A and B are shown apart, each in its own frame.
Chain A
Amino acid sequence: MGSEQEVTSVEITSHTEQFEKHFPYYLAMGMNYDQFWRQDVSLVRAYRQAHQIRKQEANEMLWLQGKYFYEALGAISPVLNAFAKQGTHAEKYLSRPFPITVEDRRAEEERISKLKREAFKASLMAFADQWQHNNSKGGE
């Protein structure tokens, strides 16, 4: 008998209490009164998923912001050194944003590849000029 009395009672709350308790959270997620109380009860699931996506996006944005900050700090760090030589300058900040979409990354890869091709072409031209110059000297 004594053991029966020792059983911890579980407080059963009404559905209404639970709705009232959760309502502010869903309002914060962007639901309105009508959607929460009157529309399809499963709508809350979509709002929770959307909330997760928004949180993930915000997290990624903060990470990206940190990365830009890191780059900026790195660029300016030479002049922050108290023992830096006179005439030391800060490095230039990034000329363009980090590529974050697939299209951005492809465009960036294409841009770098083009720069490399042009640099190679220029070095070949320089070599050819030098060769021609040397040969013309020898011919005289």
Chain B
Amino acid sequence: MATTVKLPYEGTEYILGFNRETVKRLEAEGFVPSELVTKPMTYLPMLFRGAFYEFHRKLKPEFISEIYIAQRDKDKLIEVLAQMYNEPLSELFDEPDEDADEGNAHWEVSKK
């Protein structure tokens, strides 16, 4: 089962996730995973935005940015999103990492 994150914001629960199509779309928009560390201000919000493409493709980028800014514990969230981003690729090669099921009070990892 693919990992997802349930993220409540202003009374609505958003589901964050990736499939191969949304990863492809994100990369077509210029996302480069290897530059997450060197250019975090550019690529972290981009990764966060891409996580909405699978289940909430009609959300406006400005609104997603608003959700991103409102997030606490961003480091942990981004870490999980990065793992989720890699999942469509890693599933092609090996067994999934079952240790990625951790969450906190504001968002929750689940299997869809």
Contact = CB atoms under 8 A, between A and B. Distances in A.
A44 B91 contact: yes
A134 interface: no
A19 B88 contact: yes
A15 B2 contact: no
Given A41-B18, A44-B92, A15 B34 contact: no
Q: 3 nearest interchain CB pairs?
A: A37-B21, A41-B88, A16-B24
Contacts of A42: 1-2, 87, 91, 96
Interface of B: 1-2, 18-21, 23-24, 27-28, 32-34, 85-89, 91-92, 95-96, 112
A90 to B, nearest CB: 53
Interface residues of A, number: 16
B65 to A, nearest CB: 23
Nearest to B34: A12
A14 B91 contact: no
B96 A38 contact: no
Contacts of B112: 40
Interface string A29-42: 00000001111111
A18 interface: yes
A36 B92 CA distance: 10
A119 B112 CA distance: 64
Contact of A38 (B21, B28, B91, B95): B21
A20 to B, nearest CB: 8
A22 interface: yes
B32 to A, nearest CB: 8
5 contacts: A15-B27, A15-B33, A16-B23, A18-B89, A37-B19
B19 A16 contact: no
Contacts of A41: 2, 18-20, 87-88, 91
Contacts of A92: none
